[in-house]
């Protein structure tokens, strides 16, 4: 036997009819792939990203919400050093910018102002900012109610209580306006086979 390529023995192939010869081989079904959202996506699908762009000017409402929280935080921070904790927690004993503060109101201003800044600027969470705005309104309304109902044991400054109501309402309304400047939506589109 020689090593000549022409004389090599070729394996015998089974006869093929015409229909089998031109048939398209069956495609194997590829397993579905899970997308980041957890849905099954066809691996042959094409991913399309759509970007919806809103006005960057809408970010001003986020900044104004943070500024309202910062104003409340600074007023509370200054007031905490001016109030007399020995006079009672609800007794107005210090003033900042002609607004009378009790120790309880100064602490509430620091906490609510700080929470508003975190929600608006750090977390960029409109829902949390709206909730803190409503809490601020509630603190102001509660102070107004206490001032009218129990005047001898609670010394609430009406102007400070109104400041809480107004700033809380501003924070709430500003948090209802969308702050986004762009959103991305990803879609899987099945390709033709």
pLDDT tens digits for range 11-55: 555 555 555 555 555 555 445 454 555 555 556 666 666 565 556
Of 31-35, 48-52, 65-69, 181-185, the range with the lowest mean pLDDT is: 31-35
Tokens of 11: 């394996």
Rounded to two decimals, what is the model's pTM? 0.62
Mean pLDDT of 168-177: 91
Instruction: Specify whether the CB–CB gap between 156 and 150 falls below 8 A.
Output: no
Task: Residue 92: name the closest of 187, 158, 5, 166 by CA.
Answer: 158
Task: State phi, psi for 10 to the nearest 5 degrees.
Answer: -95, 140
Q: How many residues are listed for the chain in this entry?
A: 193
């Amino acid at each position: 036997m020689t090593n000549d390529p022409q004389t090599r023995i070729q394996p015998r192939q089974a006869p093929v009819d015409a229909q089998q010869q031109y048939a398209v081989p069956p495609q194997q079904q590829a397993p579905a792939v899970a997308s980041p959202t957890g849905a099954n996506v066809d691996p042959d699908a094409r991913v399309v990203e759509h970007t919806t762009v809103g006005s960057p000017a809408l970010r001003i409402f986020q900044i104004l919400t943070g500024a309202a929280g910062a104003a409340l935080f600074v007023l509370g921070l200054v007031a905490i050093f001016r109030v007399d904790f020995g006079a009672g927690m609800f007794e107005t004993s210090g003033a900042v910018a002609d607004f009378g503060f009790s120790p309880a109101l100064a602490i509430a201003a620091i906490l609510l102002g700080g929470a508003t800044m975190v929600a608006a600027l750090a977390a960029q969470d409109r829902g949390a900012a709206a909730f803190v705005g409503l809490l601020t309104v509630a603190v102001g309304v509660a102070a107004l109610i206490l001032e009218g109902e129990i005047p001898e044991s609670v010394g609430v400054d009406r102007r400070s209580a109104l400041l809480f109501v107004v700033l809380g309402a501003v924070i709430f309304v500003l948090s209802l306006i969308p702050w986004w400047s762009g959103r991305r939506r990803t879609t899987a589109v099945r390709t033709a086979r």
